[in-house]
Structure 1
């Protein structure tokens, strides 16, 4: 189960990073580029992914 949580966290980090970059208009080529809404959604996904990865790593140590 920890592997699934860690894998989901990594996917959220990657997707959140792309959405954040598109929302900040640093990564163009999409309807999302330059949209503040996608910047916020990306940051939320990025933080949630980091939290899941940290949670999975801490659970393995215990």
Structure 2
């Protein structure tokens, strides 16, 4: 991704996905009570995958764009 706005958007979306995934994982581990998701291991796995995907998106948004020189 080469546009600055696109890179910022990618980082922002990645952060949101990672944070939501961390909340899901916390509920799956029974660390965050008060939901039907609490204590259900399925949400631990869904959350873990979301955290990984979010971190990949952040990494893609932060890495340097190719210089374009041959």
Paired position in structure 1 for 2:17: 12
Query: Unpaired runs of 5+ in structure 1?
Result: none
- Number of residue pairs matched by the alignment: 60
- Select the structure of larger CA radius of gyration: 2
Q: Where do 1:1-62 residues align within 5 Å?
A: 1-58=6-63, 61-62=64-65
TM-score (norm 2): 0.82
Query: Unpaired runs of 5+ in structure 2?
Result: 1-5, 66-70
Runs (4+) of structure 1 exceeding 2 A deviation are: none
